Chain A
Amino acid sequence: MANGNGQARTPYAEVLAVLSRHRGVLGSFVVSERDGLAVDSNVQIGVHAEAVAALAASLHRKARLACGAAGCGTVTFLRLDAERGGICAAARDDLVLITISEARANIGLLRVEMMRAVKALT
């Protein structure tokens, strides 16, 4: 089975579709933290998916390493805010679930959904 981009459908397609239906969400990805490559994505046209996925994965990796050094424990959720939106990330093992959203998104609801969805990442 293939998604809209002609790529093979992955086990994460449904999770990503649900996240992308939230108000103000521009796209969602599953990314490998180790190499920054997108495993699957569901993004609106115009979003630079691959570059953003790599940068978000790198940010998550830095946050994880810094938290490890500081004795904060495992990172459960990361949120990067900007003037007109932001990025949220939650990880399980090497996989990072990422959403990109506009300022009008309900971050609280999105966070709950992502925390639930990330448990399904394997």
Chain B
Amino acid sequence: MADEIRRLSDDLARDPSSLSFMQLADALRRAGQLEVALRVALRGLDRHPYLADAHDVLARIHADRGDLERAADEWEVALRLNPGHGPARLGLGFIDFRRGNLERAEQRLAAASSVDEDGSVAAALAHVRSALDARTAPNGPDGVAAPAVLAPEPSGQQGQTPLKNSTGSDPVGGGRAATPMMTPTIVEYPAPDPSKARQVFASVLDGDDQTALLVDADGLVLAGGYTDSNGQDVADVVAAELAGVGGEAERAMRHLGLGAWTSMLVEADRSVVAMSPAPLGSLLVVAAARETPVGLVRLLLDRALTRARDWLARVA
């Protein structure tokens, strides 16, 4: 790997306009030198801004750095430059999957199947579809979706042994026009630092009378907290009572043909509670004092949902 990087660096030094910057950036990325890889890719794109493959490499670097927003932007640019760019579709499908948007991931991957040279798109599509089936299939009397989902972990490259970087993920296959391959991995719900997980929603809450809680499909707390009027932490109990709510709401709406459920609002004597489906089959719950206007609670729910998506994309 070090030899390859040295050789590519020499090539680029001899001819700064060379396209070898893509291979060099990718080799650096696979070696875990993400900041250097980022600089090389950006410098190369300054000279060659219309190369879809270069944007693809940059997207993978962003993905490895955990910046899925920028990765998605770069893959979108790659697709605009080359609408048939399979790796970009696969990458966007990967991001949709990571965000829990399985339907969109399936659409993207199905669209990429026509350029599936090594079967990786077909494999990824199969995993997304199995995850979709797992989400909709009943599991027990409440019909709750399975708690674990098959998550794609792009890795591998055409004609070479798949490599993984220090983060364990490898959205870039390596090589100039490598196709990422989604490898099935059982991903449990994130288990981040508990103290930080409890503070995830602190920045979106306006006062002490507001609270936000992220609950997984099994009724376990993922993030946030819930303190009752006595100051007692009741997050675990509330989460447990809400287990299966998302599944039941989904089934009710399916019976009625009214589309996917988007939110649930509960007015009680002392609080207004709003809920929304969140990525990975989780449920987001926000609560505010009864005096809070209902419309404001819905805005709070939207803000908290954006925060939850960002957080899950980073830790899942």
Contact = CB atoms under 8 A, between A and B. Distances in A.
Interface of A: 26, 47-48, 51-52, 55-56, 58-59, 62-63, 65-87, 100, 102
A59 B267 contact: no
A77 B2 CA distance: 65
A80 B264 contact: yes
Contacts of B252: 51-52, 55-56, 59, 80, 87
B261 interface: yes
Interface of B: 226, 228-230, 234, 237-238, 241-242, 244-245, 248-249, 251-253, 255-271, 273, 287
Nearest to A71: B228
A47 B226 CA distance: 37
23 contacts: A26-B256, A52-B256, A58-B248, A59-B252, A63-B245, A63-B266, A65-B241, A67-B273, A69-B234, A69-B237, A69-B241, A71-B229, A72-B266, A72-B271, A74-B268, A75-B268, A76-B268, A77-B267, A80-B252, A82-B258, A84-B258, A85-B256, A87-B256
B258 A52 contact: no
Given A62-B241, A65-B241, A73 B268 contact: yes
Given A59-B252, A73-B269, A84 B259 contact: yes
Contacts of B242: 62, 66
Main secondary structure of the interface of B (DSSP, over half): mixed
B273 A71 contact: no
Contacts of B244: 62
Contacts of A83: 258-260, 262
Contact of A81 (B245, B257, B262, B269): B262
B255 A48 contact: yes
A74 B269 CA distance: 5
B248 A72 contact: no
Q: Most chain-A CB neighbours within 10 Å: which of B241, B249, B251, B252?
A: B252
Nearest to B240: A69
Nearest to B142: A58
Nearest to A85: B258
